[in-house]
Amino acid sequence: MTTIKTGRRLLLKGAFGAALATWIPQRAFAQPAIRMRVEWQQFKLTSQYGSFRAAIAAMRANTNPLSRGSLQYWANVHVNQCPHGAPYFIAWHRGYLYYFEQQLRIASGDPTLNLPYWDYFSYATMPAEFTDPAPGNPLYLQRPGANVRSALDLAPFAATVFNFQHGTANAFEPKIEDIHNPVHDLIGGVMSTMQSPLDPIFYLHHASIDRLTHAWALPDGKGIPYSSNPYSAADSAPYWAGKHVYAANLTMQRYLTLDPSWLGVDYANTSMPTTLPPLASLSAQREGAAASPVLARPPLRSFTTLPARRISASRRALAGVGEPTFDEQSTSILLRLDKQDAAEVARVVSLRRAAGESGVQRSRGAIKVRFDRTQIAGTAGQGGFFYALYLNMPAQVDSPLERERSFIGTVGAFQIAAASHHGAAVLEFDVSNLLARQRRADFSELTLSWVRVNGDQSPAGTTIEVEELRLDLAFEAQPAPAPPLPKPPGFYRRRPA
């Protein structure tokens, strides 16, 4: 708790520190007063709207990257510390929004200011206040896209989704990332990069992801890790041990991000979406996994075939192609496995079927689709598009259930930027559980497809360059999960004493 108290002392040095002292808990995170985050369309009618604009204007004008009062500071935190496609994606951002929200209050001088969220399941087009180029509008940036309907999907909210975190089967966290990432991609501009917190819409987007997570978890936390006494760091479940790191002097105990109410946050609407927003006339004409009621499997294209080979002591390439083309055309490729490799895939899939959908996989081995040494081409770094990936896609996908049986994930400018911290990006998708659900018996031929999904303004020509696109067998030891502890009554919504 020391680091949080230190953060509090730093905040109290602000221009209106005395006012802040009235709302920052005197004992860190002890019974925080609940603050309500509301949807933008309601928020803009409140007195907080002016405070929010003033705060964003001040933080954009502050060019000191070492100052928490600048958007550049929060963009750098995101670049240096944010986990994407990994455990704690949701929890890390929950703490990030908490600290940023405090800074909004300091920058605005309004201690009542709460961060709003953008409910794109109700309003698929970005709020007009963010797209108005009027001089002096602090919410405006030039962006390729404003409509994100093609990024939306109801799969995370299916009744069968019980597990929570990356590394477990049929889990919410990776499924909600398959909405989060394409929203970044379709908006584009700085939102398609890891500097995305420079765009004010970033914070409404992440507040929306946080709200959707909270709505999914109610009323009992579902498969979120828990412990017999989740109210202190010492007694937290192993998953919640340690700290989220934002900067050298800005951290947070992980267990505090289990439930937003533990940080004094709730949402005006805590219901899960049950329908997608209506298709706009232009969107209805676009090809895309979420935008079309019937989706056809793309035609096969031929690229340089890669041989099966040992990559390392713990990894074998089963099949793949070299330098596949990613452009406006949706594409399928055929992956042919030799008899021995097909038998090894069948063994891994059989173990996954036996393990079921209940938790962390114990089997030693995973089948992964790997994009090796990947980079964005030309102006495609500005986003405005993404590709939906499928394995063994049927000839026609005419229902959400059909889509779920073959959908892998998405690839776009944002995902590549997130994976490019240390050179050309490597993207991996574990398809072991997907193959287990497909109930296939023959693994000698598999079909990998990518479907181009366009935004309002999409780039032409080559968008992504991949040195190798492969199906790999990774021999990665998976530690057996600890037996679940009895869930205490009211586990998820109880707040710390």
Write the pLDDT tens digit of every residue in 349-363.
998 888 775 545 555
* CA-closest candidate to residue 43, choices 190, 184, 200, 256: 200
Q: Which of 38-47, 188-197, 305-314, 393-402 has the lowest mean pLDDT?
A: 393-402
482 pLDDT more than 50: yes
Where does residue 64 fall: left (phi above 0), alpha (psi -120 to 50 degrees), or beta otherwise?
beta
pLDDT at 147: 97
Which whole-number Å values give the CA distances from 243 to 75, 91, 248, 253, 382, in the listed order?
Answer: 20, 11, 12, 4, 33
pLDDT band at 58 (very low <50, low <70, confident <90, very high): very high
In the predicted model, what is the mean pLDDT of residues 78-94?
94
Q: Which of 89-103, 122-136, 481-495 has the lowest mean pLDDT?
A: 481-495
In the predicted model, what is the mean pLDDT of residues 242-261?
94
| Backbone φ, ψ for residue 207 (5° rounding) | -65, -35
* pLDDT greater at residue 76 or residue 482: 76
pLDDT at 356: 72
pLDDT at 161: 95
394 pLDDT more than 70: yes
pLDDT at 234: 60
pLDDT at 420: 87
For 219-249, give one letter per residue: b (16+ CB within 10 A) or e: eebebbbbbeebbeeeebbebbeeebebbee
Among the residues of 277-363, which ranges form H helices?
A: 339-355
- Decide: pTM greater than 0.85: yes
114 pLDDT more than 80: yes
pLDDT band at 491 (very low <50, low <70, confident <90, very high): confident
The size of the chain, in residues, is 497
Q: Which of 15-19, 62-66, 187-191, 423-427 has the lowest mean pLDDT?
A: 15-19
pLDDT at 283: 43
In the predicted model, what is the mean pLDDT of residues 127-137?
97
pLDDT at 280: 65
* Averaged pLDDT of the chain: 87
pLDDT band at 287 (very low <50, low <70, confident <90, very high): very low
In the predicted model, what is the mean pLDDT of residues 10-37?
48
- Which DSSP category does 439 fall into? T
291 pLDDT more than 50: no
pLDDT at 239: 87
- The strand pairing partners of 371, in sequence order, are 427, 469
Domains and CATH numbers, the chain: 2-267 (1.10.1280.10), 286-474 (2.60.120)
Which whole-number Å values give the CA distances from 208 to 216, 290, 302, 470, 494, in the listed order?
Answer: 12, 19, 41, 34, 22
In the predicted model, what is the mean pLDDT of residues 103-124?
98
* pLDDT greater at residue 228 or residue 291: 228
* pLDDT greater at residue 255 or residue 117: 117
27 pLDDT more than 90: no
* CA-closest candidate to residue 204, choices 149, 257, 251, 139: 139
* pLDDT greater at residue 492 or residue 244: 244
pLDDT at 294: 78
* pLDDT greater at residue 364 or residue 203: 203
pLDDT at 80: 94
Q: Which of 8-12, 29-33, 319-323 has the lowest mean pLDDT?
A: 8-12
pLDDT at 225: 87
> What's the distance, CA 63 to chain centroid?
28
